């Protein structure tokens, strides 16, 4: 399922903004405003996937370039692609625009097909860069790993959480792939909302794939987000089950051997790892290995949340094998024999 595109336009010419919006509506949901001071509230509410700013705005201090700089400084919007529309062909202005952080510069008058082609290409390149998961639209494996190493470089302890759905495979088999996708999307939407409520440096969320998700940030914000995720999902996931199933706490289905059995309703388990630093964990592979082990413990816990300090993790001792014999220093003894002279 492809993510629905949402475009926010900042244009002080209402007539032109309406024409532009109508042109783009077959391709995406569109909102527009003439007021720069409304941009950030609209980003939070509308959650656009792309921004289009006009260069010349009817504002005493802000133009499209300054607006782009403001967007790039805000952790909640700094990854959004920006297209600047302008009637200026001055190379100095164009150079300044790209230095401000725009992704593309489109000259007016705008040709609709040309603009749509630009938008499609820009969104494709942006998602490729973020390695976003198609189903959720959240950052994927490469982006999660990059985020991990960026946080390590800051040399400030942080925490990570590895979460997934319990008994997802039987649910996917019995209720259907579409319902399975909807369950994953519910988790994605909750995480997106929680992420929007918190500065990016305090909370990062990503989608590893399937029903596996990753969170990183300050312990306070990650722990709070995990608790809220469990609570909201418990309520929203009830829509997948009948009143009878909700009341009994399980639904009927067949296992891999084709035998009829009972499966519990969908829940979430999460492993929270705290005190992550270059001294405690230096590779993303080690982090995921520990998180996977702790998540198994979380699935057995009553609250299905386990918090673990990586400082308590010890590297397993190497098991000696026949292929790793201990090297012993030996001194070669040379025996000298006297030769008899006849």
Domain match, 152 and 268 both: yes
Q: Which two tokens stand for residue 270?
A: 């999460």
Least confident of 53-67, 83-97, 104-118, 326-340: 326-340
Residue 212 pLDDT level (bands cut at 50, 70, 90): very high
pLDDT at 335 over 50: no
Domain match, 247 and 299 both: yes
Which of 130, 164, 189 finishes a domain? 130
pLDDT at 128: 62
Alpha helices in 154-176 (DSSP H): 168-175
Domain match, 149 and 270 both: yes
Q: Higher-confidence residue: 64 or 114? A: 64
Which of 100, 130, 160 finishes a domain? 130
Domain assignment present for 322: no
Domain assignment present for 136: no
Measured distance between the N- and C-terminal CA atoms of the chain, rounded to whole angstroms? 101
pLDDT at 237: 95
Could you list the residue range(s) of the whole structural domain that residue 46 is in? 6-130
Domain assignment present for 320: no
Domain assignment present for 317: no
Domain assignment present for 59: yes
| pLDDT > 70 fraction of the chain, expressed in percent and rounded | 88
Domain match, 252 and 278 both: yes
pLDDT at 325 over 60: no
Domain match, 158 and 256 both: yes
Q: In what order do the strands lie in the sheet with 305-309?
A: 203-209, 212-217, 158-166, 267-276, 305-309
Domain assignment present for 328: no
Where residue 210 sits, what CATH number does that domain have? 3.30.70.270
277: number of Cβ within 10 Å: 16
pLDDT at 83 over 90: yes
pLDDT at 130 over 70: no
277/67 Cα distance (integer angstroms): 36
* CA dihedral of 332, 335, 336, 341, whole degrees rounded to 10: -150
Domain assignment present for 331: no
Nearest Cα to Cα of residue 76 among 106, 34, 52, 45: 45
Overall domain count for the chain: 2
Nearest Cα to Cα of residue 164 among 208, 196, 104, 127: 208
300/303 Cα distance (integer angstroms): 9
206/287 Cα distance (integer angstroms): 15
Nearest Cα to Cα of residue 30 among 10, 1, 57, 55: 10
Q: Which two tokens stand for residue 227?
A: 């608790």
Where residue 53 sits, what CATH number does that domain have? 3.40.50.2300
Domain match, 168 and 121 both: no
pLDDT at 261 over 50: yes
Domain assignment present for 326: no
Q: Count how many Cα atoms sit within 13 Å of the Cα of residue 103 in the half-sphere of its side chain.
A: 21
Which of 70, 101, 130 finishes a domain? 130
pLDDT at 69 over 90: yes
pTM of the model as a whole: 0.60
Domain match, 248 and 301 both: yes
Residue 107 pLDDT level (bands cut at 50, 70, 90): very high
Domain match, 49 and 98 both: yes
State the average pLDDT for the chain.
86
Domain match, 224 and 269 both: yes
- pLDDT tens digit string along 134-151? 677 788 888 898 889 989
pLDDT at 331: 47
Domain match, 83 and 211 both: no
Domain match, 162 and 46 both: no
pLDDT at 5: 86
Select the highest-mean-pLDDT range: 142-151, 206-215, 317-326, 327-336. 206-215
Domain match, 303 and 167 both: yes
């Amino acid at each position: 399922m492809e993510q629905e595109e949402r475009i926010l336009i900042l244009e002080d010419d209402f007539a032109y903004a309406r024409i532009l919006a109508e042109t783009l509506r077959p391709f995406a949901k569109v909102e527009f405003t003439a007021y720069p001071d409304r941009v950030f509230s609209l980003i939070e509410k509308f959650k656009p996937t792309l921004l289009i700013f006009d260069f010349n705005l009817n504002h005493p201090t802000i133009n499209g370039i300054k607006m782009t700089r403001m967007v790039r400084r805000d952790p909640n919007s700094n990854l959004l692609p920006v297209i600047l529309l302008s009637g200026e062909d001055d190379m100095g202005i164009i150079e300044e625009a790209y230095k401000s952080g725009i992704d593309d510069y489109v000259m007016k008058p705008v040709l609709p097909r040309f603009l749509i082609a630009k938008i499609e290409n820009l969104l494709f390149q942006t998602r490729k860069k973020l390695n976003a998961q198609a189903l959720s639209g959240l950052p994927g494996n490469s982006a999660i790993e990059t985020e991990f190493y960026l946080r390590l470089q800051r040399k400030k302890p942080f925490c990570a959480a590895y979460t997934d759905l319990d008994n997802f495979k039987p649910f996917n088999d019995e209720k259907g792939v579409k319902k399975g996708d909807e369950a994953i999307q519910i988790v994605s939407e909750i995480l997106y909302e929680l992420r929007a409520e918190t500065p990016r440096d305090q909370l990062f969320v990503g989608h590893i794939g399937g029903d596996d998700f990753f969170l990183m940030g300050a312990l306070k914000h990650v722990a709070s987000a995990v608790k809220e995720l469990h609570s909201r999902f418990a309520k929203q996931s009830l829509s997948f089950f009948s009143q009878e199933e909700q009341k009994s706490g399980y639904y009927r289905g067949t296992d891999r051997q084709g035998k009829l059995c009972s499966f519990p309703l969908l829940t979430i388990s999460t492993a929270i790892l705290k005190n992550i630093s270059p001294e405690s964990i230096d590779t993303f592979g080690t982090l995921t290995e520990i998180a996977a082990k702790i998540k198994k413990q979380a699935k057995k816990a009553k609250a299905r949340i386990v918090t673990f300090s990586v400082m308590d993790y010890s590297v397993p001792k190497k098991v000696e094998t026949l292929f790793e014999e201990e090297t012993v220093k030996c001194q070669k003894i040379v025996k000298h024999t006297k030769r008899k002279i006849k």
